[in-house]
Structure 1
């Protein structure tokens, strides 16, 4: 009788669940933060976790703006308020279909709390990324068109802007998720938002970010006022499509 070796990363029968699973399952978006500062060493650990994330072509063209200066945060607070108010007046005005109204109300209350206390945020992290200028030769374009075919090539021309945005995002957001996991593991509260994009030009000007650099999130970080707890998510059985839709 032979004994099969477990797959790398799998959990053997009777073994304890990896601590990472506990971290992920209790990683709520924590918006109520204490004003106490976060040591630079811990913030550096968060950025290190982000840098360990995958990057397309291993180009690693990400940059991270880390704000801890209270004077700078105070200047950003009005921008944050304008962005949050715009969100709550439009996209965030109503609870998503199927979401409990009371739960949505609690989330909105937390968003409003963060808006009203943003100047006291201990740290804010802005992930940035910029692809290099493409080097495309005529022969490469010919092979590209032959490989895809005329119809798909024409279709790609219509969605090129979306493709480029997703390509850059795929180089940034895995690192952002690493950062959020690291924050949870260190006992820090954090949440990812993209509301700053409503006023991205103003945010860039306030933080000295080059105009041609793309920003992908604004992540407030600090010590939580509340407690971490289990996240509420859809069951796996509701979201999986085996082999085809």
Structure 2
């Protein structure tokens, strides 16, 4: 349910009505509003305060038309596999409505007024032998070996943790400004092709494709699991 306590900060009402809005009007979004979204993202934290993020903002209809076939291929791949069936416990009718919205966005992607691609690239690590010795001593042999096995996952999560807080800020700012937006990562199915169209360096990682525009529908309360169902106090 949306927050409605008069004592709640306005942010709570924003969060509780921030649906993923996929049906967008083709009307352009002013650059100054898009800049405000990026400003909100930049206010988010990043590891070590390195601020290695970059944001590609697409508003040119010709570029959007180039991306539209890639978007279609990615969405079709998603709907044929991961998104083929409703997750366990999810209402089938609600899932069907979500899929219909995804298909609408797919079929009208070329009309998307703005698209934001958050990017991030860690600098090359500077680790000296003495640092590695202290690292292994602090963790112990078993944990050090375990970390070596999951290093790729750890690095991906480390980069993601520098990006996604800013993305959430961006989504909140969009909702606050009356703009529709939703986060997707389906572009990763064809990330190299997306990078080629947008001129993104090959060694720069992309973390989302966020369509932004004025909503065709209305914002409303999100449907989420109740807090008492998801909290484990003190231990699992």
Tell me the TM-score range normalised by the shorter chain: over 0.9
Unpaired runs of at least 5, structure 2: none
Hey, what's the Cα distance between the residues in 2 that align with 1:192 and 1:13?
A: 26
SS in 1 for 2:211: strand
Deviation at residue 15 of structure 1 after TM alignment: 5.5
Hey, what's the Cα distance between the residues in 2 that align with 1:75 and 1:210?
A: 18
2:9 to 14, 18, 43: 18
* CA distance 1:112–1:234, shift in 2 (3 Å): same
SS in 2 for 1:229: coil
Hey, what's the Cα distance between the residues in 2 that align with 1:153 and 1:241?
A: 28
2:144 to 149, 153, 165: 153
For 1:202-233, what per-residue CA distance to the aligned partner results, in whole angstroms no more than 9, with x for missing partners?
00000000000000000000000000000000
Deviation at residue 162 of structure 1 after TM alignment: 0.2
Are 2:59 and 2:114, in contact at CA under 8 Å, matched by a contact in 1? yes
SS in 1 for 2:115: strand
For 1:75-129, what per-residue CA distance to the aligned partner results, in whole angstroms no more than 9, with x for missing partners?
0000000000000000000000000000000000000000000000000000000
For 1:122-149, what per-residue CA distance to the aligned partner results, in whole angstroms no more than 9, with x for missing partners?
0000000000000010000000000000
Deviation at residue 17 of structure 1 after TM alignment: 1.1
SS in 2 for 1:228: coil
Are 2:171 and 2:181, in contact at CA under 8 Å, matched by a contact in 1? yes
Deviation at residue 14 of structure 1 after TM alignment: 8.2
Are 2:27 and 2:214, in contact at CA under 8 Å, matched by a contact in 1? yes
Deviation at residue 13 of structure 1 after TM alignment: 14
Q: Indicate whether 1:118 and 2:118 are aligned.
A: no
* CA distance 1:35–1:198, shift in 2 (3 Å): same
* CA distance 1:238–1:14, shift in 2 (3 Å): closer
4+ residue stretches of structure 1 with deviation over 4 A? 12-15
Unpaired runs of at least 5, structure 1: 1-11
Hey, what's the Cα distance between the residues in 2 that align with 1:63 and 1:145?
A: 34
Hey, what's the Cα distance between the residues in 2 that align with 1:159 and 1:122?
A: 39
- Number of residue equivalences: 234
Hey, what's the Cα distance between the residues in 1 that align with 2:74 and 2:226?
A: 32
Hey, what's the Cα distance between the residues in 2 that align with 1:13 and 1:47?
A: 28
Are 2:174 and 2:180, in contact at CA under 8 Å, matched by a contact in 1? yes
Hey, what's the Cα distance between the residues in 1 that align with 2:29 and 2:6?
A: 35
For 1:48-99, what per-residue CA distance to the aligned partner results, in whole angstroms no more than 9, with x for missing partners?
0000000000000000000000000000000000000000000000000000
Hey, what's the Cα distance between the residues in 2 that align with 1:173 and 1:108?
A: 24
SS in 2 for 1:211: coil
* CA distance 1:144–1:78, shift in 2 (3 Å): same
Deviation at residue 16 of structure 1 after TM alignment: 2.0
* CA distance 1:74–1:16, shift in 2 (3 Å): same
